[in-house]
Every structure is written in C-alpha cells, then in structure tokens.
Structure 1
Amino acid sequence: MIGLEIQEKLAKEKEKFVENLLDTYGLGEFKDHYPRQLSGGMRQRAALIRTLALKPEILLLDGPFSALNYQTRLTIADEIGTILKKEGKTAIMLT
C-alpha cells in the first residue's frame, strides 16, 4: 500500500481493495513478509498488485521478467496476463 500512502490516498476502502487483491492472487498470507522472503514470482505479483492498487487506466511494464529464470518467466507471464484480463486493464510491456 506504499503507493497509496505516498499519494496520501490510503483509506479503509482502498485498504480493503488491496487486501482483496492479495487474497485473490495468492499473497494474502504473505502480506507481512519482507521482499527477501518472497520468491521471484511472488515479488512480481506483489509489484503488479502495488500498481493495481492505484487503479491506473493503463500499465507500463518495463522488463517485468528480467530478473526471473526462464521457467519462472513463462509462469509469471501467464499469471500476469490472467490478472490483467481479470482486472480489465490494458498494459504496454517492454521486454
């Protein structure tokens, strides 16, 4: 929720929205973990959720898979595609 905090837009409604995103995409039980405690794929999902929390109309994903190994890259690419479709978001991806 750091983006919301920085923009001073953190409210109970938005906090609930973020909690729902975390639960929906399998990170609910990891919400109090440090990034170093998450796998590469979990970090990517967390980064996407952090962006979705701001409810942007268009997302710009700049090298979202560059730090991942090949197998994880394929899995996360599919997951991110599914998340974007489900959330009804448009993304421009640079690779």
Structure 2
Amino acid sequence: MEELHFAEIDPSVTWEGQRVFDIIIYGDNLFHEIDIVKMNGDINNALVLNITVSVSGRSLTITLQLVKGSHTIISAIEFFEIVRAQNFN
C-alpha cells in the first residue's frame, strides 16, 4: 500500500481550479482530476490519497498528468509492506 501526500503550498495557487491533475500509476489513471485546494477546502492543508498497488522489483512508476495549471507537485510518498498474518495453530 502506498500513501501519496499533497499540500498546496505554492503561493501562486490561491483558489480551487488553478492546479488540477490526474495520477497515473503503472499506466493506469487511478485518480482523476485531483484539485488539492478543492478537496481540502483551502490552501496549506494536507491531503493524503491511499492506494494499494503491487510493486515488483525496485521500481514504481507514478505520473502526475497536468489537466489545468502550469505544473504538478507531490509532497511525499509513503510505502507500507502488507504482511500476511501467520496461523500458528
């Protein structure tokens, strides 16, 4: 599982609709038209999106596809390993 962390901290973005983007992981558009300000209701607030994807090897491909605005930004990516519980009976 991974968490994608966003916060609209760019001083040129002050209201919703100024930066909108899609999040594509391994070629699949998994999050459509992400607008951090609109989803948070304000600037400078954290937004965390969760997704479970299978990572093979040491590489993960994430593309932020701009829909509106001048550029995209991601603040952090957090990875979690899913470990199945063992049955000790």
Same fold at TM > 0.5: no
The structure with higher relative contact order (CA 8 Å, sep 6+) is 2
TM-score (norm 2): 0.30
Q: In proportion to residue count, which structure has more strand?
A: 2
TM-score (norm 1): 0.29
Compare CA radii of gyration and give the structure with the larger one.
2
